[in-house]
Chains A and B, each alone.
Chain A
Amino acid sequence: MSFTGKDVLCILDFTRNDLERLFRIASSKFEGDELRGKVIALAFFEPSTRTRMSFETATLRLSGNYIGFGTTQATSIAKGESFSDTVRMLDAYADVIVVRHRLEGAAKLAAELAESPVINAGDGSKRHPTQAIIDLYTIWREKKGIDNMTYGVLGDLRYGRAARSFLRALNLYSPRKVYLIAPESLRPKEELLDSLKMPWEFANLNDILPELDVLYVTRIQKERFPDPAEYERVKGSYRIDTNLLKNAKTSLAVMHPLPRVDEISLDVDKTEHAFYFKQAANGVPVRMALLSEVVA
């Protein structure tokens, strides 16, 4: 199937075949004319340097133009214009609308209001489909497949949108097992757990590290803890360094949606385990593939 004119709201809008097709395009594409004469609206109601710049780069590399904003401070939203009205305005100007918003379901609402296709660049704390595609693509490309491997997903699994989007994305594949590694108060809500179709269990990193093929790391934020002392107590168990990785398979892929703070030690960067810079680099080709398919 093709995505022409379709909205990209949630990773589960895709089938495996859709993703394979995107992966093949992404692995071949570095420049093109697909967006010539097209205007992409980048509506970032919540700041995100990385995601926005990779959409900008993807647009430019495909000969397109973009309009938009990266913060709502200097816009009419600051003067009280609703999100809905802003989306209607952008719909009149642009061929594709890329939305990042603090509220959950904002991208779905935009898609209902706009004629142009809408791409969700992260809304609220659950959905971030383009990040999930990048994560899957990185595994597909580097590991030659996504099925039948053992995954660990570590960090804030309750509020972190990248980790939650990644977990939902794994539903499209057949992992051997997924270990959820998170402090009690940052474990996923039942909505997410109910949706998981693969075998999963909660675990301590040390117990299962030798089994893992992929370890997806996300940041644990201090402000998520009701009690700061609890944060101080647990933070050490969620830090990855080369010493810890001695117990891992040599082929273990350590992933991270970036930016990181100190959850992955710098000494991991130069090891074979470091997949996170590859992930970051894949942001542009994956978004190029997606944009070119949506406007095709």
Chain B
Amino acid sequence: MSEELVVRRISNGTVIDHIPAGRALKVLKILGITGEEGLMVSLVMNTSSKKLGRKDIVKVEGKELSKEEVDKIALVAPTATINIVRNYDVANKRRVELPRRIEGILKCVNPKCITNAPREAARPVFTVISEKPLKLVCEYCGEYLTEDEVIAQLTGT
């Protein structure tokens, strides 16, 4: 099965390709897709890739995911490419770009941060201050969040 075929199989929607092998479920988690939305979602895991050796692919049928929705996955899948498919054609193809701010996905590591207080109205918000290595700073308390901490949070249970 060629890569082209895997990408082209849906008629309309979004194909997220070149996800590092084993990260597809994390990608769905970050996108907030649980299956209960009724969207037709297919996963391909550990398929061979010229670029990555092995990779995962996520296909969401019938929905074009917006840039803001998708770019957050760069936290766990910086190599991913996004294909918007319309009528079996790739209408738009691009790489994910890490957003400047990350809202709500990650938790601050500082136990004294207001975002960790139960029942308060603060969602964690981070500013990306470095991409390689990944480093974020909490907008509420100023504490750093390192790449290791991000990966641990997103790939943990």
Closest to A168 in B: B142
Interfacial chain B residues near A113, Cβ < 8 Å:
121
Contacting pair A82 B139 (CB below 8 A): no
Q: Which among A59-67, A102-110, A142-150, A203-211 touches the partner chain?
A: A102-110
Interfacial chain A residues near B120, Cβ < 8 Å:
82-84, 109
Please tell me if A287 contacts chain B, counting CB pairs below 8 Å: no
0/1 interface trace, chain B 6-28, chain A, CB 8 Å (1 if under) = 00000000000000000000000
Please tell me if A190 contacts chain B, counting CB pairs below 8 Å: yes
Interfacial chain A residues near B152, Cβ < 8 Å:
none
0/1 interface trace, chain B 128-149, chain A, CB 8 Å (1 if under) = 0000000001111111100000
| A191 interface neighbour in B113, B117, B119, B137, Cβ under 8 Å | B137
Taking A124-B112, A190-B144 as contacts, is the C-beta distance between A108 and B139 under 8 angstroms?
yes
Please tell me if B83 contacts chain A, counting CB pairs below 8 Å: no
Q: List B residues at the A interface (Cβ < 8 Å).
A: 110, 112-115, 117, 119-122, 137-144
Taking A124-B112, A125-B112 as contacts, is the C-beta distance between A105 and B140 under 8 angstroms?
yes
| A109 interface neighbour in B110, B138, B140, Cβ under 8 Å | B140
Which one of A84, A105, A126 has the highest number of Cβ atoms from chain B below 10 Å of its Cβ?
Answer: A105
Segment 101-140 of A: residues with Cβ below 8 Å from B:
101-106, 108-109, 112-113, 123-126
- Could you show 16 A-B contacts with beta carbons less than 8 Å apart? A82-B119, A82-B120, A83-B117, A84-B121, A103-B117, A104-B113, A104-B141, A104-B142, A105-B114, A108-B114, A109-B120, A109-B122, A123-B114, A191-B137, A191-B143, A191-B144
- Contacts beyond the supplied A105-B139, A108-B140: 11 A-B pairs with Cβ under 8 Å: A84-B119, A84-B122, A102-B112, A104-B114, A104-B141, A104-B143, A106-B114, A108-B122, A123-B114, A124-B112, A190-B144
Closest to B115 in A: A105
Q: Provide the bound-state CA to CA distance between A247 and B131, in Å.
A: 48
Interfacial chain A residues near B137, Cβ < 8 Å:
191
Contacting pair B112 A103 (CB below 8 A): yes
Total contacts A to B, CB within 8 angstroms? 57
| B114 interface neighbour in A109, A125, A126, A191, Cβ under 8 Å | A109
Contacting pair B121 A191 (CB below 8 A): no
Interfacial chain B residues near A104, Cβ < 8 Å:
110, 112-114, 140-143
Interfacial chain B residues near A103, Cβ < 8 Å:
112-114, 117
Interfacial chain B residues near A109, Cβ < 8 Å:
114, 120-122, 140
Closest to A159 in B: B112
Interfacial chain B residues near A82, Cβ < 8 Å:
119-121
**Chain B nearest CB, measured from A45 CB (Å):** 11
Q: Provide the bound-state CA to CA distance between A101 and B121, in Å.
A: 15
Q: Provide the bound-state CA to CA distance between A113 and B123, in Å.
A: 12
**Chain B nearest CB, measured from A125 CB (Å):** 7
Q: Provide the bound-state CA to CA distance between A103 and B113, in Å.
A: 6
**Chain A nearest CB, measured from B144 CB (Å):** 6
Interfacial chain B residues near A126, Cβ < 8 Å:
141-142
**Chain A nearest CB, measured from B55 CB (Å):** 35
